[in-house]
Homo-oligomer: A and B are copies of this chain.
Amino acid sequence: MISVAVVDAETPGNVGTIARAMKNFGLSELYLVDPPELDPEGEAYGYAGHAREDVLPNAREVEFDYLVENFHTVGTTAVTNEDARKHVRYPFTTPAELADSLREAEADTCLVFGREDIGLTNEEMARLDEVCSVPASAEYPTMNLGQAATVVMYELRDLTLDETQHPDAIDRASEAEIEGLYDQFDAVLEAVNHPEEKRAKTGRLFRRLVGRAHPTDREARTLRGVFRRAANFASPPGEESQR
């Protein structure tokens, strides 16, 4: 189980934004340390989308100690230490590495996010178990709180989501259907009198283009139908097209 904690946020909107991303990525347990007031008519609920129905009203206000005592805690920070001489923010993992390591260990984990302006203090960070940092521009790595939290939860989605909104796999056309499309393209080349010495090369060009795109069944069949009509129209009168 992966939970989320927000420490000392100033703006209710950010709490709402984080609650929404939690619901988008299948998390539900939200802990708030020193939160701003969350007025059901205010920004937190306004920004929370459907999370206003469950994640946000079910959020629990707790002390920082509660997080330390009950979870494997992961503190997030934009700015890490540079090397091992300072270990408050070093070593750290990236969100993708965190996903890999949590996949192996089934820990009750809490992702801890800090204030809008300064994030988590060194004192807070020192008490947390792991450090996580989103790789961003060297020039401007400091992300907005809600956006940073969204990226971390996005990367952990395989651990928290049973099912996404996406269909399981693109229904790529069968090889037979795609080969039929290539054959029909060759028939067009013949019907339009494409120079005979160039036909094989042009056929390969078409094969490469379509091959890269992995057409769906529908795409392959529709295009094959269009080419069949094109070959028929182009055939000299009285002569049967190939298919």
Shortest Cβ distance from residue A85 to the other chain B in the assembled complex, whole angstroms? 6
Contact of A137 among B23, B87, B171 (CB under 8 A): B23
Interface, chain A (partner B; CB < 8 A): 17, 20-21, 23-26, 47, 49-51, 78-80, 82-85, 87, 90-92, 94, 133-144, 146-147, 150-151, 154, 157, 161-167, 170-171, 214, 216-219
Shortest Cβ distance from residue A228 to the other chain B in the assembled complex, whole angstroms? 19
Closest to A104 in B: B212
Contacts of A94 in B (CB 8 A): 166
Shortest Cβ distance from residue A99 to the other chain B in the assembled complex, whole angstroms? 12
Question: What is the oligomeric copy number?
Answer: 2
Contacts of A92 in B (CB 8 A): 166
Tell me if B165 and A135 are in contact (CB < 8 A): yes
Contacts A49-B144, A84-B216, A142-B49 given; does A25 touch B136 at CB 8 Å:
yes
Closest to A165 in B: B141
Expressed in whole angstroms, the Cα–Cα distance for A216 and B139 within the complex equals 26
Expressed in whole angstroms, the Cα–Cα distance for A192 and B150 within the complex equals 49
Expressed in whole angstroms, the Cα–Cα distance for A111 and B214 within the complex equals 22
Tell me if A80 and B146 are in contact (CB < 8 A): no
Tell me if A141 and B24 are in contact (CB < 8 A): yes
Contact of A147 among B17, B138, B170 (CB under 8 A): B17
Tell me if A171 and B83 are in contact (CB < 8 A): yes
Shortest Cβ distance from residue A43 to the other chain B in the assembled complex, whole angstroms? 11
Contact of A144 among B47, B82, B87, B164 (CB under 8 A): B47
Expressed in whole angstroms, the Cα–Cα distance for A183 and B241 within the complex equals 82
Tell me if A157 and B142 are in contact (CB < 8 A): no
Contact of A80 among B78, B91, B151, B167 (CB under 8 A): B167
- CB-based closest 5 A-B pairs: A84-B218, A84-B216, A141-B165, A135-B164, A138-B163
Contacts of A51 in B (CB 8 A): 140
